[in-house]
Amino acid sequence: MNKRVLFVDDEPDLNLTLKMVLEENGFKVDSFTDPLSALENFKGESAGMYELLILDMKMPGINGFELYRQIKKIDDKAKVCFLTASEMYYEEFRKELFPALDKNCYIQKPIDNETLIKRINRIMTPSN
């Protein structure tokens, strides 16, 4: 059975590329370039059906942190990772979300496909 991933990044090219890479590696991916559309989708019947949510931090409308907060109100067990090209967001990530999130859930762009898949598989595999 395919592992389900929700991916939200406002860059259309990256969104499409990452969706294809994940699907080629056995994941079932729902991707959105609009964080508000992703949130509406998540509020519906899809809440709780994803094994991992990958959110870009810097997006128009609502940023990745705010999207994370809204999603956690709907499903507090949702496993979330953040993806960003900006180094400055790491401090905000570290201050706001540690120790709640594993540092592996912060993914710096650019990242090569093989490393990304390994990281996602590690995050999705329970350590116990």
The percentage of residues in the chain with a pLDDT greater than 70, rounded to a whole number, is: 79
CATH superfamily label, 3-124: Response regulator (3.40.50.2300)
Q: Is the pLDDT of residue 89 over 60?
A: no
Q: Where are the alpha helices (DSSP H) in the chain?
A: 12-24, 35-43, 64-74, 88-97, 113-124
pLDDT of residue 128: 43
Cα 47 to Cα 51, 59, 73, 74, 124, distances in angstroms: 10, 21, 11, 7, 17
Q: Is the pLDDT of residue 38 over 70?
A: yes
> Alpha-carbon distance 84 to 28, whole Å?
22
Q: Which residues lie closer than 8 Å to 75 by C-beta, 6 or more apart?
A: 42, 47, 48
Lowest model confidence (mean pLDDT) among 70-74, 93-97, 106-110 = 93-97
H or E segment to which residue 8 belongs: strand 3-8
Residue type, 29: V
- Mean pLDDT over all residues of the chain? 84
- What's the N-to-C CA distance of the chain in angstroms? 21
Over range 76-105, report the average pLDDT: 69
pLDDT of residue 16: 95
* Token pair 């996602």 in the structure block, residue: 120
pTM score = 0.85
User: 6 pairs with which residues across the strands?
Assistant: 30, 53
Over range 95-102, report the average pLDDT: 59
The residue ranking higher by pLDDT, 109 or 44, is 109
The residue ranking higher by pLDDT, 86 or 93, is 86
Over range 68-81, report the average pLDDT: 89
